Amino acid sequence: MDLNRGIAPVKKEHIIDKRRGKEGEKAVSDDETNETKEEPPRKKGRITRVRGKKDKMVVENTRLCLKTSMGLVCETESCKFDHDLDAYLETKEKDLGDKCVNFENFGKCRFGYKCRFLNAHLSSDGKLIVNEDRVSLINAINTEEKNIINMETQKKLRKNVYQFPKSDAYMVEIEREVSRQLEMERKNKLEKLQSNQSEKDNQNVSEVIDIEVQPNISSQTIKDESEETKFDIESDRKENVESTITDSVTVNNFTTSTTSTTSNNLLDADIEASVHTPDIPLRSCEKKKISFKDKLYLAPLTTVGNLPFRRICKEFGADITCGEMAMATNILQGQQSEWALLKRHVSEDIFGVQICGCKVQHLVKCAELLNNEIEVDFVDVNLGCPIDIVFNKGAGTALLKHDGKLGKIFRGMDKVMDFPVTVKLRTGIQDEVPLAHKLIPKFENWGVAMATLHGRSRQQRYTKLANWDYISNVSNKVKEMPFFGNGDVLGYTDYYKHLENHNVDGIMIARGALIKPWIFDEIKSKRHYDISSKERFEILEKFCNYGLEHWGSDSIGVNKTRRFLCEWFGFLHRYIPVGLLEVLPQRINDRPPSFRGRDDLETLMASPNSNDWIKLSEMLLGPAPDNFIFVPKHKSNSYEG
- Considering the domain architecture, whether residues 362 and 455 belong to the same structural domain is answered as yes
Which residues lie closer than 8 Å to 426 by C-beta, 6 or more apart?
383, 384, 386, 397, 400, 436, 453, 454, 456, 457, 458
pLDDT for residue 264 is more than 70: no
* Per-residue DSSP letter, 383: E
- Considering the domain architecture, whether residues 561 and 433 belong to the same structural domain is answered as no
- Considering the domain architecture, whether residues 453 and 554 belong to the same structural domain is answered as no
- Considering the domain architecture, whether residues 407 and 513 belong to the same structural domain is answered as yes
pLDDT for residue 238 is more than 80: no
Q: 115: exposed, middle or buried (C-beta count within 10 Å: 0-12, 13-18, 19+)? A: buried
- Across the range 414-432, mean pLDDT stands at 95
Cβ 417 vs Cβ 445: under 8 Å: no
Tell me how far apart the alpha carbons of residues 264 and 146 are, in angstroms, rounded to a whole number.
44
Cβ 303 vs Cβ 567: under 8 Å: yes
Residue 165 domain-assigned?
no
- pLDDT the model gives residue 398: 96
* Per-residue DSSP letter, 123: -
Side chain identity at residue 256, one-letter code:
T
Rounded alpha-carbon distances, angstroms, from residue 296 to 211, 299, 367: 84, 10, 25
Question: Where among 495, 511, 529 does a domain terminate?
Answer: 529
Q: Binning pLDDT at 50, 70 and 90, where does residue 185 land?
A: confident
Tell me how far apart the alpha carbons of residues 627 and 195 are, in angstroms, rounded to a whole number.
78
pLDDT for residue 542 is more than 70: yes
- Considering the domain architecture, whether residues 315 and 440 belong to the same structural domain is answered as yes
- pLDDT the model gives residue 600: 96
Question: Where among 529, 554, 570 does a domain terminate?
Answer: 529
- pLDDT the model gives residue 21: 44
Number of domains in the chain: 3
Tell me how far apart the alpha carbons of residues 117 and 94 are, in angstroms, rounded to a whole number.
9
- Across the range 491-512, mean pLDDT stands at 96
Residue 349 domain-assigned?
yes
Tell me how far apart the alpha carbons of residues 312 and 238 are, in angstroms, rounded to a whole number.
63
CB-CB neighbours of 386 under 10 Å:
20
Tell me how far apart the alpha carbons of residues 149 and 134 are, in angstroms, rounded to a whole number.
25
Mean pLDDT check: name the lowest of 271-285, 488-502, 619-633.
271-285
* Entry pTM: 0.81
- Across the range 558-583, mean pLDDT stands at 95
Tell me how far apart the alpha carbons of residues 527 and 71 are, in angstroms, rounded to a whole number.
52
pLDDT for residue 553 is more than 80: yes
Q: Which candidate, 251, 196, 574, places its Cα nearest to that of 402?
A: 251
- Considering the domain architecture, whether residues 585 and 636 belong to the same structural domain is answered as yes
pLDDT for residue 422 is more than 70: yes
Residue 254 backbone class (left: φ over 0; alpha: ψ -120 to 50; beta: rest): beta
Residue 340 domain-assigned?
yes
- In tens, the pLDDT along 94-143 reads 999 999 999 999 999 999 999 999 999 999 999 999 999 888 877 756 56
Q: Binning pLDDT at 50, 70 and 90, where does residue 153 land?
A: very high
- pLDDT the model gives residue 289: 83
Rounded alpha-carbon distances, angstroms, from residue 221 to 197, 233, 324, 460: 17, 18, 73, 66
Q: Binning pLDDT at 50, 70 and 90, where does residue 252 land?
A: very low
- Considering the domain architecture, whether residues 603 and 634 belong to the same structural domain is answered as yes
Percent of the chain at pLDDT > 90 equals: 66
- pLDDT the model gives residue 135: 86
Active site annotation includes 65: no
Instruction: Share the mean pLDDT of the chain.
Output: 83
Whether omega before 585 lies within 30 degrees of 0, making that bond cis, reads yes
Angle at 633 between CA 641 and CA 622, to 5 degrees: 130
- pLDDT the model gives residue 181: 85
pLDDT for residue 286 is more than 80: no
Mean pLDDT check: name the lowest of 176-180, 271-275, 579-583.
271-275
- pLDDT the model gives residue 346: 93
- Considering the domain architecture, whether residues 391 and 295 belong to the same structural domain is answered as yes
- What phi and psi, each to the nearest 5 degrees, are found at residue 507? -130, 130
- In tens, the pLDDT along 366-400 reads 999 999 999 999 999 999 999 999 999 999 999 99
Side chain identity at residue 276, one-letter code:
H
Bridge-partner residues for 425, per DSSP? 383, 453
- Considering the domain architecture, whether residues 341 and 489 belong to the same structural domain is answered as yes
CB-CB neighbours of 560 under 10 Å:
19
Q: Binning pLDDT at 50, 70 and 90, where does residue 202 land?
A: low
Q: 576: exposed, middle or buried (C-beta count within 10 Å: 0-12, 13-18, 19+)? A: buried
- Considering the domain architecture, whether residues 483 and 448 belong to the same structural domain is answered as yes
- Across the range 511-523, mean pLDDT stands at 97
Secondary structure (3-state) at 303? coil
- pLDDT the model gives residue 40: 46
pLDDT for residue 215 is more than 50: no
- In tens, the pLDDT along 290-312 reads 899 999 999 999 999 999 999 99
Tell me how far apart the alpha carbons of residues 343 and 329 are, in angstroms, rounded to a whole number.
18
Residue 444 domain-assigned?
yes
Q: Binning pLDDT at 50, 70 and 90, where does residue 226 land?
A: very low
- pLDDT the model gives residue 285: 55
Q: What domain range includes position 90? A: 66-144
Residue 162 domain-assigned?
no
Mean pLDDT check: name the lowest of 51-55, 118-122, 331-335, 452-456.
51-55
Q: Which candidate, 418, 467, 421, places its Cα nearest to that of 444?
A: 421
Residue 226 domain-assigned?
no
- Considering the domain architecture, whether residues 433 and 578 belong to the same structural domain is answered as no
- pLDDT the model gives residue 207: 57
- Across the range 14-25, mean pLDDT stands at 59
- pLDDT the model gives residue 281: 53
Question: Where among 504, 529, 554 does a domain terminate?
Answer: 529
- pLDDT the model gives residue 463: 83
- Across the range 172-176, mean pLDDT stands at 91
Side chain identity at residue 554, one-letter code:
D
Q: Is the dihedral of CA 535, 541, 542, 544 positive or negative?
A: positive
CATH number of the domain within which 322 lies: 3.20.20.70
Write down the catalytic residue from 322, 385, 544, 566. Answer: 385
- What phi and psi, each to the nearest 5 degrees, are found at residue 568? -65, -35
- pLDDT the model gives residue 102: 94
pLDDT for residue 490 is more than 70: yes
Cβ 454 vs Cβ 489: under 8 Å: no
Percent of the chain at pLDDT > 70 equals: 77
Write out the E strands in 164-277.
Answer: none
Q: 407: exposed, middle or buried (C-beta count within 10 Å: 0-12, 13-18, 19+)? A: middle
Q: Binning pLDDT at 50, 70 and 90, where does residue 571 land?
A: very high
pLDDT for residue 635 is more than 70: no
- pLDDT the model gives residue 404: 92
What is 206-221 written as a DSSP string? HHHHHTTT-TTS-HHH
- Across the range 471-487, mean pLDDT stands at 95
Residue 123 domain-assigned?
yes
Q: Binning pLDDT at 50, 70 and 90, where does residue 331 land?
A: very high
Residue 273 domain-assigned?
no
pLDDT for residue 529 is more than 80: yes
- Considering the domain architecture, whether residues 339 and 477 belong to the same structural domain is answered as yes
Report CA dihedral (323, 327, 333, 334) to the nearest 10 degrees. -10
